[in-house]
Chain A
């Protein structure tokens, strides 16, 4: 019985289940809420099964329809994929419970099928082992995300969605050109095969440039982040949370994979460039966030800044210490939890006051304590203060920076933390005070408050789970607390 469970192809289920759920939502619109929640919960269980299988049997590989690479489609999952899948499932679950109460019946009918399609696409993406499948999943992710942004049909949402659509199509196109070039050069789209075959020549360098630029555009790496604030700020709160927490991680993940397996060995200069852009993103995004007077735009610019930290991994960890995969997965997970909590909390504040002007929060701390607590806890992680996953992530980056003598990057990270504290506490300070003109407030359903709070608590608790996350990605690392401090030996 147990062995039977172990051998189920959990990976296939994580893709097929939300697809089936999405189709069900289209066929029976009245059932979309239960169909959606059941699908998402099912995906969480399937990923638990997949994780169990990976821990028992090591890396997961499944040839769809029995045709293996290079002819057929392979599903593949290692520790890095697994952490990304867990992140998607847990954050997705929290946002789903929020969305259950957030959308009017009319919007809900449109939200659920698209969200389930997005979930299937994300899972497929994290389970792909070849660059063409990655393209297909990336394109699906992008289109579903654009559709979600435009969901309400309000004029500002449509404007944001249009910019977003252009950016995401351009990004995928550049990536696809890179795929073609690599296929032409090395005769395969399978990453493992490519890794053995490619040599740094003109075609590979061109592919590298195109793919990196396309993916950086989709991940909104500064200065290619122009599309993100309007899109993320104008979307409905659960959609903003999905976009900021999960969707940008998809393109980031592909870029990381390419770098880990294909380009990292010879493109050190480009790594340095990505790191510099990341540092610029931290400063620019944080300064912009500090200038905002509306919460959702503030949170969106904070995402621009936080993406910068993810890209510091390229100069700091990719070349040298072999921790790039685990650090990237950990940082992405941490940001996903904190940022989704923050957008959901912002959504609650908007529903509560009918606006998201920061100076007008009008004693939200007393009237909406769980939401403000969610915002505060998520904020602690975003500004990188202990005890939180944001602190651990920042410590890992700082440690890498100091041991490589990258003072410039260390100073940027410290300043980024200070700026983040500035914009987070700007919101929290006004949550304590009374507005000049008191407003009538609308009630916020308890589930929406708790969804935000639980995600934020997740961001804090993840701070105590770094050893476990790292062990998922590097099973060969032994972690023991000892007299002299923890020993992490390969």
Chain B
């Protein structure tokens, strides 16, 4: 069922909309600020338009696909289906906002051409990950993502950044190697790596089952590094040394999501959820996700550095996606997959706000946040919405995710998940509410810890517009994604379409 001729190029256009501006930006001299901004924004808007076009098409049952011969028996294939579009839509909206934010954040700082070049390549790889039509294409873009995020992590060029970069690579490249090993082993058994709605393994002989379980472990280990599953999460708090827009991108859109998205692809489109359950691999995966959820929250409690606290919160929250994927049933699927979007909106808000505090007032630690709500009310209002979402307070988006996860667990008879969800919500509250209490109800100090010379003079404004608007918008999006969850344009509605297509095979 192909669309009109020419439509096959749409997936390619989405990739190109980030790739081409990125490549041009590498060649731009540092002082061409305006041209660089125009290129960045043109690319981001073009991507939104192409994505909107494909959303319309996929909703009406079209498929967009383009493929080219790559290896013996394997193609590079880009395909837009409902799951990939969810990820693409998230990344295109957040790319636009993060670009605006990064332009404001990096104003006047050196090496911006390099930064925005790799930033665009990062979005390119994320688009490729989202639209991969088979596991080999996924692998190519997944590894590319590792490579192009490295210069962003070490962007500041300090010794600490170099060390963080080494740690980041040690984890991600080792994970990539495990993934490659799993993929090639799988390929030697199946002879195909195409994503398909019921998986590609269900008619294999039972003699292969032990091998398939081992391959599943390899694939999940490889993907689990980026998805920050315990004990493979160690790189994530270290990567906090990067500039705030990078942290926002790594945590909300690109890297951790690529991992979680990959887990969803492997479970649904390679193994097939029913076959995976029959094989007995979903239970351990759910258990691992639950452990990660609790562990991440516990570690977050003890962090005084705000960005590190948020990082451990990411470790915990991303695993909701994995948990939803690993529980067999349409409702849990909805809860997990929709969290891909919800967590993205909420976490990027929090990181934007943390960046604003650091840039405007020099605040990096939780204990420095006393009374900051009075000095930066809009920023802290956005932060509060994001934090409430993470805790799962209705009607913010996070509540919807947790609600469906809980319902899904009960539906599938996995009652043990309920205490995990409740425990995690309590822990979320325990590490976010004290922050909010400090910000809103304590008295501000006599002076803010403005130490860095990068902190600019803003007069009596809260902060620069480019820094303030993105978190306010993402916070509102997170609110409305929950409030209007039953509207036809909400992420939840789209995810119900995905679940319908995954569980009701024609």
Interface string of A383-411 (1 = CB under 8 A from B): 00111000110011011001100000010
**A363 within 8 A of partner (CB):** yes
**B187 within 8 A of partner (CB):** yes
**A486 within 8 A of partner (CB):** yes
Residue of B nearest to A400 (CB): B188
**Interface residue from A323, A430, A481 paired with B68 (Cβ < 8 Å):** A481
**A266 within 8 A of partner (CB):** no
Dominant SS at the B interface? helix
Query: Is A486 a contact partner of B69 (Cβ separation < 8 A)?
Result: yes
Interface string of B44-86 (1 = CB under 8 A from A): 0000000000000000000000011111111100000000000
Which residues from chain A contact B180 at a C-beta distance below 8 Å? Answer: 398, 414, 417
**Interface residue from B147, B159, B166, B181 paired with A414 (Cβ < 8 Å):** B181
Query: Is B158 a contact partner of A485 (Cβ separation < 8 A)?
Result: no
CB-CB under 8 A for A387 and B140, given A466-B70, A481-B68, A481-B75: yes
Which residues from chain A contact B154 at a C-beta distance below 8 Å? Answer: 429, 432
Residue of B nearest to A429 (CB): B162
Query: Is A433 a contact partner of B157 (Cβ separation < 8 A)?
Result: yes
CB-CB under 8 A for A398 and B162, given A380-B147, A387-B140: no
Which residues from chain A contact B194 at a C-beta distance below 8 Å? Answer: 484-485
Q: How far is the CB of B144 from chain A (nearest CB, A)?
A: 6
**Chain B 301-341 interface residues, beta-carbon cutoff 8 Å to A:** none
CA distance A152 to B107 in the complex (A): 49
CA distance A425 to B147 in the complex (A): 10
**B291 within 8 A of partner (CB):** no
Which residues from chain A contact B110 at a C-beta distance below 8 Å? Answer: 366
CA distance A431 to B194 in the complex (A): 39
Query: Is A429 a contact partner of B166 (Cβ separation < 8 A)?
Result: yes
Interface string of B157-179 (1 = CB under 8 A from A): 11101100110010001101100
Which residues from chain B contact A366 at a C-beta distance below 8 Å? Answer: 110-111, 114, 157
CB-CB under 8 A for A386 and B143, given A366-B111, A481-B67, A488-B72: yes
CA distance A407 to B377 in the complex (A): 60
CB-CB under 8 A for A485 and B75, given A363-B157, A387-B144: yes
Query: Is A399 a contact partner of B69 (Cβ separation < 8 A)?
Result: no
**B198 within 8 A of partner (CB):** no
**B484 within 8 A of partner (CB):** no
Which residues from chain A contact B70 at a C-beta distance below 8 Å? Answer: 392, 464, 466-467, 486
**Chain A 442-490 interface residues, beta-carbon cutoff 8 Å to B:** 464, 466-467, 470, 479-481, 484-488
Which residues from chain B contact A488 at a C-beta distance below 8 Å? Answer: 72-73
Which residues from chain B contact A417 at a C-beta distance below 8 Å? Answer: 177, 180
Number of A-B contacts (CB under 8 A): 107
Query: Is A385 a contact partner of B147 (Cβ separation < 8 A)?
Result: yes
Which residues from chain A contact B476 at a C-beta distance below 8 Å? Answer: none
**A320 within 8 A of partner (CB):** no
Residue of A nearest to B72 (CB): A488
Q: How many residues of B contact A (CB 8 A)?
A: 43
Greatest chain B CB density within 10 A among A429, A430, A487 is at: A429
**Chain B 133-163 interface residues, beta-carbon cutoff 8 Å to A:** 134, 139-140, 143-144, 146-147, 150-151, 154, 157-159, 161-162
CB-CB under 8 A for A421 and B73, given A410-B184, A433-B157: no
Query: Is B181 a contact partner of A486 (Cβ separation < 8 A)?
Result: no
Interface string of A106-119 (1 = CB under 8 A from B): 00000000000000
**A418 within 8 A of partner (CB):** yes
Which residues from chain B contact A466 at a C-beta distance below 8 Å? Answer: 70-71
**A369 within 8 A of partner (CB):** yes
Query: Is B165 a contact partner of A429 (Cβ separation < 8 A)?
Result: yes
Q: How far is the CB of A81 from chain B (nearest CB, A)?
A: 22
CA distance A428 to B443 in the complex (A): 47
Residue of B nearest to A417 (CB): B177
**B192 within 8 A of partner (CB):** yes
**A434 within 8 A of partner (CB):** yes
Query: Is B72 a contact partner of A386 (Cβ separation < 8 A)?
Result: no
Which residues from chain B contact A432 at a C-beta distance below 8 Å? Answer: 151, 154, 157, 161-162, 165
Greatest chain B CB density within 10 A among A391, A425, A480 is at: A425
**B185 within 8 A of partner (CB):** yes
CA distance A410 to B184 in the complex (A): 10
Which residues from chain B contact A391 at a C-beta distance below 8 Å? Answer: 140, 143
**Interface residue from B72, B158, B159, B176 paired with A385 (Cβ < 8 Å):** B176
CA distance A428 to B74 in the complex (A): 32
Which residues from chain A contact B75 at a C-beta distance below 8 Å? Answer: 481, 485-486
Q: How far is the CB of B112 from chain A (nearest CB, A)?
A: 12
Which residues from chain B contact A387 at a C-beta distance below 8 Å? Answer: 140, 144
Query: Is A479 a contact partner of B69 (Cβ separation < 8 A)?
Result: yes
CA distance A431 to B158 in the complex (A): 11
Which residues from chain B contact A479 at a C-beta distance below 8 Å? Answer: 69
Q: How far is the CB of B242 from chain A (nearest CB, A)?
A: 12
18 A–B pairs (Cβ distance < 8 Å), ordered by A: A380-B147, A385-B147, A385-B173, A385-B176, A391-B143, A402-B188, A414-B177, A425-B169, A432-B154, A432-B157, A432-B162, A432-B165, A466-B71, A481-B69, A481-B75, A485-B194, A486-B70, A488-B72
For the complex with contacts A385-B147, A399-B184, A433-B162, 15 further pairs of A-B residues with Cβ separation under 8 Å are A365-B157, A386-B143, A399-B187, A399-B188, A421-B173, A425-B169, A429-B165, A464-B68, A466-B71, A467-B70, A480-B69, A484-B194, A485-B73, A485-B75, A486-B70
Closest 9 CB pairs of A and B: A402-B188, A386-B140, A486-B69, A467-B69, A481-B69, A421-B173, A398-B184, A432-B157, A429-B162
